[in-house]
């Protein structure tokens, strides 16, 4: 699906100017702000034949919710598209499928960070329940740095049922829980896999947990009891692809 949307932040806008400058419709830079990062944005725009409009910081603050870092762009976004049925069909066809599933993650910053990590790890899709989940807002896009255009965000109606359908298609479902008896480095991963991450604090819901094939944890050597969900996602995903020989 293609739509026009305002994105903001140095990395998010820079990614569009470097990779898809033809999709940048308007570019706005903070008036009277001169630093190396914005100069790089100006250079990329100039090389792409794009003009920019200097705008007062107060007006830019009103346009978006979040730290715009002095740059906002109106762009044509083209998110990667995949629906629930298409993903189940893919699960039947792809022997090395890798999915990331977020259960109850409602912070758009965390969603964006997980999308970025999923893209780096070569994940086929990121799955979230339709309810109790963050949406792909401008804030999430800023953090994702363009990953939403490469990793489909699939919303499913009933997550527990979807996990059962994955398992019926020989996808091994691994959930993360602090009370798990085995850690990520004790488990052997191969074939098609789905990694389920729960919300910070509450973790996975009961039905989600019951529909996992196994539960694992990340060994913690310090005093903190848990990691941010996007950090934990990176640890688990890259261990999985290391074992599968994809890293």
Backbone torsions φ then ψ of 132, nearest 5 degrees: 60, 50
Sign, CA dihedral 162-210-241-147, equals positive
Task: Place 239 in a pLDDT band, splitting at 50, 70 and 90.
Answer: very high
CATH of domain 2-78: 3.30.1330.30
For 145-180, what is each residue's pLDDT tens digit? 888 888 999 999 999 999 999 999 999 999 999 889
pLDDT at 79: 77
Question: What pLDDT score does 3 carry?
Answer: 73
Q: What's the pLDDT score for residue 2?
A: 58
| Cβ-based burial of 176 (10 A; exposed 0-12, middle 13-18, buried ≥19) | buried
Q: Which residue has the tokens 């308007």?
A: 26
Q: pLDDT digit string (tens) for 79-117?
A: 778 999 999 999 999 999 999 999 999 999 999 999 999
Query: Do the bridges between strand 71-78 and strand 153-156 make them parallel or antiparallel, or are there none, so unpaired?
Result: unpaired
Does the annotation list 198 as a binding residue? Answer: yes
d(CA 152, CA 140) in angstroms, rounded, equals 14
- Give the number of residues written for the chain: 247
pTM for this predicted structure: 0.83
Average pLDDT over residues 211-228: 87
Does pLDDT of 247 surpass 50? no
Core vs surface per residue 112-141: b (16+ CB within 10 A) or e: bbbbbbbbebebbbbbbbeeebbebbbbbb
Least confident of 183-187, 203-207, 221-225: 221-225
Q: Could you tell me the CA-to-CA distances from 62 to 7, 57, 65 in Å, in that order? A: 14, 9, 7
> Which CATH number does the domain 84-243 belong to among 3.20.20.70, 3.40.1280.10, 3.30.70.920, 3.40.50.300?
3.40.1280.10
Place of tokens 């039905």: 207
Most confident of 136-140, 143-147, 206-210: 206-210
Instruction: Give ranges for CATH 3.40.1280.10 in the chain.
Output: 84-243
Q: How far apart are CA 142 and CA 13, in angstroms?
A: 8
């Amino acid at each position: 699906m293609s739509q026009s949307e305002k994105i903001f932040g140095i990395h998010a806008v820079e990614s569009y100017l470097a990779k898809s400058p033809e999709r940048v419709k308007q570019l706005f830079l903070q008036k009277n702000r001169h630093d190396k990062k914005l100069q790089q944005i100006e250079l990329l725009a100039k090389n792409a034949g794009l003009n920019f409009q200097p705008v007062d910081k107060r007006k830019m603050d009103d346009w978006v919710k979040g730290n715009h870092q002095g740059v906002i762009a109106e762009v044509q976004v083209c998110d990667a598209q995949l629906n629930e049925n298409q993903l189940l069909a893919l699960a039947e066809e792809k022997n090395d499928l890798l999915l990331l599933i977020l259960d109850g993650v409602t912070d758009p910053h965390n969603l964006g960070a997980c999308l970025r990590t999923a893209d780096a790890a070569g994940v086929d899709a990121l799955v979230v329940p339709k309810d109790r989940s963050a949406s792909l807002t401008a804030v999430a896009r800023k953090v994702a740095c363009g990953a939403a255009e490469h990793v489909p965000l699939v919303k499913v109606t009933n997550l527990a049922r979807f996990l059962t359908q994955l398992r019926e298609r020989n996808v091994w479902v691994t959930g993360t829980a602090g009370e798990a008896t085995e850690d990520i480095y004790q488990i052997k991963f191969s074939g098609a896999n789905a990694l389920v991450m729960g919300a910070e604090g509450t973790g996975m819901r009961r039905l989600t947990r019951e529909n996992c094939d196994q539960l694992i944890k990340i060994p913690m050597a310090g005093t903190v009891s848990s990691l941010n969900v996007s950090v934990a996602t990176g640890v688990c995903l890259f261990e999985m692809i290391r074992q599968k020989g994809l890293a």
